[in-house]
Amino acid sequence: MSDTAMFAMKQVSKSYGSAYTLHPLNLHISRGELVALIGPSGAGKTTCLNILAGTIEPDAGLLHIAGKPASSYASGKHLAKAVGIIRQQFDLVGSLPVLHNVLAGRLHEWGFGKSLLSFLFPQDKHIAADALNRVGLSDKLYDKTSHLSGGEQQRVALARLLVQQPQAILADEPVASLDPARAEDVLAMLVRLVQEEQLTLVSSLHSVHLARQFFQRIIAIKEGRVFFDLPTADVTEDHITDLYQLTAGHGMDER
């Protein structure tokens, strides 16, 4: 495994029941790359991301994360130092103040005692304040999280990732529940932070437009296979049309 690989998949596959969700797949993502995963609903994007995140065990094949086999990450705490995840906006605990949601990114560093103490005397508060400052929410430190708008909540989730300090960020439709203007805003912020921290970003997206705008490389997945894997500049309209075209007997009944 070369040092530059953040994720390396070799013949990784996954099936639910008899049908393949993901056909044997080879994928190499280097450190510092910005990769968008696009494709029709149910094509296997989320499964692919979940395998990269280590939350789903592949049926077969090898996955290396940051140069080490995925199975060598003994606990969630070790994996959390390598990979951070952001999904749609239902990821936060609405009843807690923003501060504690952001500090949850430190839980992999903290013991249980320190985590409990933090409810009374917030620990590492400057780290959280700094992260919130970078996502433009420095005044929301003590606000109840459920009072924030959808876009603001996604930025809180970004702040939590900053506090977590992983080497790579996996984003599963991170802006799917936002309106177009806010979606672009949050995605721009995500990409900027990833570049500032020199992290790797792999994000699934509904919007081809956003994928083109923010990412260097686009991987298209269709029916559990890589449909194309190209630098953004080389992706043509024909590619996109072919990707989203409904084929007879497919497209509607897949998961």
As a residue count, the chain comes to 255
Q: In the chain, where does DSSP find H-type helix?
A: 45-53, 76-82, 98-103, 112-120, 125-134, 150-164, 180-196, 208-214, 237-244
Looking at 17, 72, 74, 112, which residue binds another protein (CB under 8 A)?
112
If you ran DSSP here, which 8-state letter would residue 144 be given? B
Nearer to another protein, 22 or 80 (CB): 80
Q: How many other CB atoms are there within 10 angstroms of residue 50's CB atom?
A: 17
82: three-class secondary structure by DSSP: helix
Give 104 or 221: the residue with its C-beta nearer to another protein.
Answer: 104
Taking the complex as a whole, how short is the minimal distance between the CB of residue 85 and another protein, in angstroms? 4
- Binding to another protein in span 40-99, by CB under 8 A: 53, 55, 75-81, 83-85, 87-88, 90-96
Q: Which is nearer to another protein, 160 or 222 (CB)?
A: 160
The Cα–Cα gap between 153 and 131 comes to 14
Q: Is 123 in the site for another protein (CB under 8 A)?
A: no
Task: Identify which of residues 91 and 130 has a Cβ nearer to another protein in the complex.
Answer: 91
- Per CB under 8 A, residues contacting another protein are 53, 55, 75-81, 83-85, 87-88, 90-96, 100, 104-105, 107-110, 112, 115-116, 119, 157, 160, 164
